[in-house]
Amino acid sequence: MSAASSSAAPSFVDLGVPAPLAAILAAQGITTPTPIQAATLPDSMAGRDVLGRGRTGSGKTFAFLLPLVARLTASGRPARKGEPRALILAPTRELVGQIHESLKPLAESAGLTTMTIFGGVGQTPQVNALRRGADIVLACPGRLEDLIQQGHCDLGAIEITILDEADHMADLGFLPAVRRIMDKTPADGQRLLFSATLDNAINVLVKRFLSQPVTHEADSAQSPISTMDHHVLHLSRENRVPVLVDLTSAPGRTVVFTRTKHGAKALTRQLNKSGVPTVELHGNLSQNARTRNMEAFHSGKASTLVATDIAARGIHVDDVALVVHADPPVEHKAYLHRSGRTARAGAAGTVITLMTDDQVRDVRDLTRAAGIKPTTTKIHGASHPLLAELAPGKRVHVPGGLVVDVPEQSSGNRSSGSGSGSGSGRPRRRRGGGGGQGGGQGSGQGSGQGAKSQGGRQQGTKQQGAKPAAKQGSGGNGGGNRSRSNRGPAAGSGRPGQHSAASFSSGRR
């Protein structure tokens, strides 16, 4: 069943949404349902299983939050300790947080309690929240499964299960965990599955867990968004950083994508050194650093976010005027999801892909598979007049870019990245708001001495032998809870042009 167009768009109340919930949306300036909302709400409000596909930014979040709150309210069952009534699964902690922000005013108005579950932080607050009892749990599969296995969470009372960004969970290899989790929910509960694409991996979930689902598709992921302009800039490797500096120093928010964590870290440092306030987002950052960086980008302290595909999937930031693929993605779905960071909710946006001579065939195949017909222009440097058209406005450079105070870790097991492991507690200055556990900012310090790796094994100094940290080149691998030595090119050494040519496409995602 497909969404049908109508000359007179229905209101939320017309679609079965209770008036108090519609009023909350109206207070946020949301009065007209999007196509995916108009298509799915009548069925989801009636309690049917729904399979919904809509591109990123199409309004999928409220398409499942509204029936969730309405139906739990109508059910009237109390929340019990360790037994939530509804479950929302999402692939990343950022997406869990953003769904929670949208849910809170709706849930509070109905007297429903909510909580989030994800890794990268201590589990004790999450365990305590489960013990108090929560109506709605929003979770990433990994940490939720851990808590279930430890006996802290029982899904036997779940009335509604929602999967958001199901295709991304498949891309990340979460489907086995998702299947195990959903097996623990009652078979007669309502299930809503939302995804940007509906491929074979999603069909496996549909056949196993959805009962006579109604399928709705809106805003085809295979077609260009009318308000989005796509451009490919054909340039030499040595011109990539100067062109990026020019584009990102224009007014407005910019999201730049790299293929790897190391590339994101290196480019963040280069943009900050060039006077563009920039933060990074990738898997090597601690949760505190990820939260701090996103707050800086949301607030405008940082005008540019450099991110990897996995880290930025599902992130919602309003008014992103420009998306730049510093590294062309490997496949077309990633291109579409990256590009969806701009032109949200009907706003205009520009998407730029940087392409070198050796990437011409790959970019051509990529855009063809994505259904995109970009404008390709060969440019020879940052002085090309097209750059001012794509990112208009006066270029502004802030000496040093964005510099934040990052407190030292108090424990010697979690090195500050300086290689000393002293844990003095004194704040230090850092460009771009990095801060993976034990990770430096690419300054040639913190090669991993004292970093806490997964399972508590110490790496870095042992693996590198007696070589001094400053000679390891990576400038710290960002630590995180999967810290490993990184022998890639130094993020803070060598000539900028020479380094930047390789930095975007080396290392791990």
Q: Do 256 and 178 reside in the same domain of the chain?
A: no
Q: Do 173 and 234 reside in the same domain of the chain?
A: no
Structural domain contains residue 69: yes
Lowest mean pLDDT across 171-175, 371-375, 460-464: 460-464
Q: Which one has a higher pLDDT value, 28 or 494?
A: 28
Buried b (16+ CB within 10 A) or exposed e, 408-426: bbeeeebbbbbbbbebeee
Q: Do 214 and 258 reside in the same domain of the chain?
A: no
Q: What is the pLDDT of residues 148-162, one digit of tens each?
A: 999 999 999 999 999
Task: Tell which residue, 162, 173, 186, has the closest CA to residue 63.
Answer: 162
Structural domain contains residue 362: yes
Structure-token pair, residue 426: 């004194």
Structural domain contains residue 81: yes
Q: What is the pLDDT of residues 69-122, one digit of tens each?
A: 999 999 989 889 999 999 999 988 888 988 999 999 999 999 999 999 999 889
**Last residue of one domain, picked from the residues 191, 218, 245:** 218
Structural domain contains residue 482: no
Q: Do 148 and 251 reside in the same domain of the chain?
A: no
Q: Do 81 and 49 reside in the same domain of the chain?
A: yes
Q: Do 292 and 187 reside in the same domain of the chain?
A: no
Q: What is the pLDDT of residues 130-146, one digit of tens each?
A: 999 999 999 999 999 99
Q: Do 377 and 304 reside in the same domain of the chain?
A: yes
What is the rounded average pLDDT of the residues 382-387? 94
Q: With 70 as the cut, is the pLDDT of residue 331 above it?
A: yes
Structural domain contains residue 303: yes
**Which DSSP helix (H) or strand (E) runs through 138?**
strand 136-139
**Last residue of one domain, picked from the residues 361, 390, 419:** 390
Structural domain contains residue 507: no
Q: What percent of the chain has pLDDT over 90?
A: 48
Structural domain contains residue 30: yes
Q: What is the pLDDT of residues 39-83, one digit of tens each?
A: 999 999 999 999 998 766 678 899 999 999 999 999 989 889 999
pLDDT for 149: 95
Q: What is the pLDDT of residues 394-415, one digit of tens each?
A: 999 999 998 765 544 433 333 3
Q: With 80 as the cut, is the pLDDT of residue 455 above it?
A: no
Domain count, the chain: 2
Q: Do 346 and 380 reside in the same domain of the chain?
A: yes
pLDDT for 1: 41
pLDDT for 503: 44
**Last residue of one domain, picked from the residues 172, 193, 218:** 218
Cβ neighbours of residue 415 under 8 Å, at least 6 residues apart? 409, 421, 438, 446, 448, 449, 450, 451, 452, 479
Structural domain contains residue 441: no
Expressed as residue numbers, the domain containing 73 is: 19-218
Domain harbouring 94, CATH code: 3.40.50.300
Question: What is the three-class DSSP state of 6?
Answer: coil
Q: Do 300 and 379 reside in the same domain of the chain?
A: yes
Asked whether 216 and 2 are in contact (CB, 8 A), the reply is yes
